[in-house]
Every structure is written in structure tokens, then in C-alpha cells.
Structure 1
């Protein structure tokens, strides 16, 4: 994940990998930054927001599971999706 200059436009672009909401790794590119610093700052903010959303979803699932309190038989397994 590094910022590089676009040869056609002369502006900065950044290529990065992230994990989407389904758990799949994705590759993406964001273009059109005026400076390298601006591109790297955008990436930092994107990753912070992406991590916070994942943490919130995990917390929400955990709270739901705890609130339901389903009785389990000895043959049932608890599958952790977190």
C-alpha cells in the first residue's frame, strides 16, 4: 500500500487491500490526489473507519447472542463467527 504518481494525469494514486463485509480480501485503487501526503492520509482514515465498522458489527453480534441465551444440547456446537 503505497502512493505513486499516475503517469497519465500526473496526480497521485494509492492502491490498497481491504477485507469487505463478507470477509473477502479486495484490492482497490483511489486516484486523483494532489499530493502524496493527501493520498496516504486518505488511506489511514479509510482503514480506521473500516476497522471500527468491523469492531461494531462483532460487538453487535456478540450482544445479540448473549441476549438470546439459546439453550444448547450437549451435541450442539457453538460456532464463533467473530
Structure 2
């Protein structure tokens, strides 16, 4: 997955500028992003503070690690079941 070149702090700052009254087109020109990105950020980070955004990022990272652990455990479980089902 491609990593964003903007941190949560910068994204929240851009959204605060939008709330202050700057148009999306001006924000896009100023920060070098597309309007779709601004609306995507608004959907994800709208109304958040920087600390909340960092907490969200930490939870997403933890969730990814847990999903990977679950997938590994399910794969091991499946391999053991296949091994036990074989007739010797």
C-alpha cells in the first residue's frame, strides 16, 4: 500500500483550512492534491483532532497485525486438519 506523503497533522491542518472557508479548489492548488483526496480525508478525518487521528492510525495498525495473526493461525489449523484426515 502506498504511503501518504502527508501526516495526520498536515491532513487535519488542511481540513481546518477548509472549515475556515477556503474552497476545495484553492486547497488542492496550494497543497498539490486532487479534490477527491480532500473529500476522502474529510470523510475519514472530518471533525477529528490530531490526537484522535493518531489514535485511529494506531488502532488501524494494531487491527492489521491481529488480522495477520488470525490468518496465520487459521492456516496452521487448516494444515493440521488436513494432516489428521489422511489415512495412514
Indicate the TM-score class for this superposition, using the shorter chain for normalisation.
Answer: 0.5 to 0.7
Structure number with the bigger relative contact order (C-alpha 8 A, sep ≥ 6) is 2
The Cα of 1:43 is off from its aligned counterpart by: 0.6
The Cα of 1:34 is off from its aligned counterpart by: 2.9
Partner of 1:35: 49
Q: Which runs of 5+ in 1 are unaligned?
A: 11-27, 72-82
RMSD: 2.4
Superposition pairs of residues 43-82 of structure 1, within 5 angstroms: 43-69=57-83
Map Cα deviations across residues 39-77 of structure 1 (whole Å, 9 max, x no partner): 001110111012101110111011111221187xxxxxx
List structure 1 runs of 4+ shifted beyond 6 angstroms.
none
Cα distance between partner residues in 1 of 2:65 and 2:50: 23
Aligned residues: 54
Cα distance between partner residues in 2 of 1:50 and 1:63: 20
Partner of 2:19: 9
More strand as a share of residues: 1
The TM-score normalised by the length of structure 2 is: 0.49
The TM-score normalised by the length of structure 1 is: 0.52
Indicate the structure (1 or 2) with the bigger Cα radius of gyration: 2
